[in-house]
Structure 1
Amino acid sequence: MRERYASGLDDNTAQQMTDLLNANLANVIDLTLDGKQCHWNLQGQGFIGVHQLLDETTDRLREISDTIAERIVILGGQPNGLTSRVAKDSILADYPTDITEVSQHVRELTNRYKQVAETLRKAIETAGEAGDEDTADLFTEASRIIDKDAWFIGANAPKST
């Protein structure tokens, strides 16, 4: 194990946080890729608005990934964003490849955003209990962004009558 760099955290806590951060990094990277899969395959009414929105939300997910990875390095760990690791560790099932309609993609992607946000909220609690308020704060900000983007994407779903 490499020397820890986190000021005020013991090695065990830093390692626990590194593992927690890497688990969430896999989820955020997978969600980013799902967003692009959706972006590339949308068809139907409302296409252009959702298509453009997904460029913006994907950029925000990339920023979250970078922030998570940087925190891992600060704690003395190594971020692992390899596709094999993401495929193995992500909580998300494979994105369906048999849907095309905007409404189908909006529902699917919104549900995935909510899954990742739920995992981030659990991570906030875990980091807080471990005494790493900086990591808890990182997860809180990521959760806020993902919740907001889930709402933005979901607002494009047709209203039920």
Structure 2
Amino acid sequence: MRERYASGIDDATAQKMSDLLNANLANVIDLTLDGKQCHWNLQGTGFIGVHQLLDDTADRLRDVSDMIAERIVILGGEPNGLASRVAKDSILEDYPTNITEVPEHVRELTSRYKKVAATLRKAIEAAGDAGDEDTADLFTEASRIIDKDAWFIGANAPNK
């Protein structure tokens, strides 16, 4: 591990939190890429609004990724957002490439946002149990952002 900048956190906890943060970094990067895949391929009624929304949500996800990566460095770890790592470690399956209609994409992407948010909530608990409240707070902020964007995206799906 590199030099740690977080005081009061022992090496074992710092390593455990760095690992937890890196796991969630992979998920958030993958979710960002899924959002862009959707952005590039959706068609149909409501296209332009969702298309523009997905640019905004991708920006927020990149901010979350930066926040996570910076916390890893603060803890003395090394953030790993390489494509090969993300592909190997993300909890998300490959985004379907056979859909085009706005409602299909909205349902698919909203489901993925909810899955990543649920994983972040588990990470909140793990960080709190480890005594790293700063990392727990980071995961809380990330889950709030992702929950809100899941709501924004999901609001574009017609009711069944």
TM-score normalised by length of structure 1: 0.98
The separation in 2 between residues aligned to 1:119 and 1:56, in whole angstroms, is 22
Q: How far has the Cα of 1:3 moved from its partner?
A: 3.7
SS in structure 1 opposite 2:63?
A: helix
The aligned residue for residue 24 of structure 1 is: 24
The aligned residue for residue 92 of structure 2 is: 92
SS in structure 1 opposite 2:88?
A: helix
Q: How far has the Cα of 1:2 moved from its partner?
A: 3.1
Cα displacement string for residues 73-100 of structure 1 (whole angstroms, at most 9, x for unaligned residues): 0000000000000000000000000000
User: How large is the Cα RMSD of the aligned pairs?
Assistant: 0.6
SS in structure 2 opposite 1:4?
A: coil
Q: How far has the Cα of 1:159 moved from its partner?
A: 1.3
SS in structure 1 opposite 2:76?
A: coil
Code of the residue aligned with 1:79 in structure 2: it is P
Unaligned runs of 5+ in 2: none
Alignment pair present for 1:39 and 2:39: yes
Alignment pair present for 1:157 and 2:140: no
The separation in 2 between residues aligned to 1:114 and 1:152, in whole angstroms, is 12
The aligned residue for residue 148 of structure 2 is: 148
Code of the residue aligned with 2:128 in structure 1: it is G
1:1-161 matches, cutoff 5 A? 1-160=1-160
CA contact 2:6–2:75 (8 Å) conserved in 1: yes
- What fraction of aligned residue pairs are identical, expressed as a percent? 86
CA contact 2:4–2:73 (8 Å) conserved in 1: no
Q: How far has the Cα of 1:4 moved from its partner?
A: 3.0
